Amino acid sequence: MKVLLSIKPEYAEKIFDGTKRFEFRKSIYRSREIRTVVVYVTRPVGQIIGEFDVDEILCEDPDTLWEMTSYYSGISKEFFDSYFLGRDKSFALAVGKVRRYETPLDPADVIENFTPPQSYMYVDDELSRPSSTQLAFAL
């Protein structure tokens, strides 16, 4: 089982180019055994472009989380603060190995009745797994 996350285009690109090593979330999926995130890039892209391994899930108060992750956050302090405003708990997925698909997937082709998730959705391992020819590279 994997989890699919909706990520804005500019942040997805930073994940795959290695400049954003943490994906921030207000809430996290329940199954802590999941170690792979499938990346759905929101509109205007609207495609599944790859996946990454989760090395660790951090859960801290926002100030502590920013101290731990700011160097590779891929976002500004102002954006971080506004995103977690009023929260006493914040989460970050530590991005491990990334795999960008050579050919992005149309989610409607691999997920029946696809609707982009607000936070996350579980997907089968086989559902989104690209063929070896789809994998452009692994970092």
**Structural domain harbouring 108:** 2-138
CATH number at residue 112: 2.30.130.30
What integer pLDDT is reported at residue 64 of this predicted model? 98
Please, which pLDDT band fits residue 127 given cuts at 50, 70 and 90?
A: low
Q: How far apart are CA 45 and CA 92, in angstroms?
A: 24
How many separate domains does the chain show? 1
pLDDT tens for residues 115-126? 999 889 999 877
Q: What average pLDDT does this structure show over 87-98?
A: 98
What integer pLDDT is reported at residue 131 of this predicted model? 44
Please, which pLDDT band fits residue 87 given cuts at 50, 70 and 90?
A: very high
Q: What average pLDDT does this structure show over 16-41?
A: 94
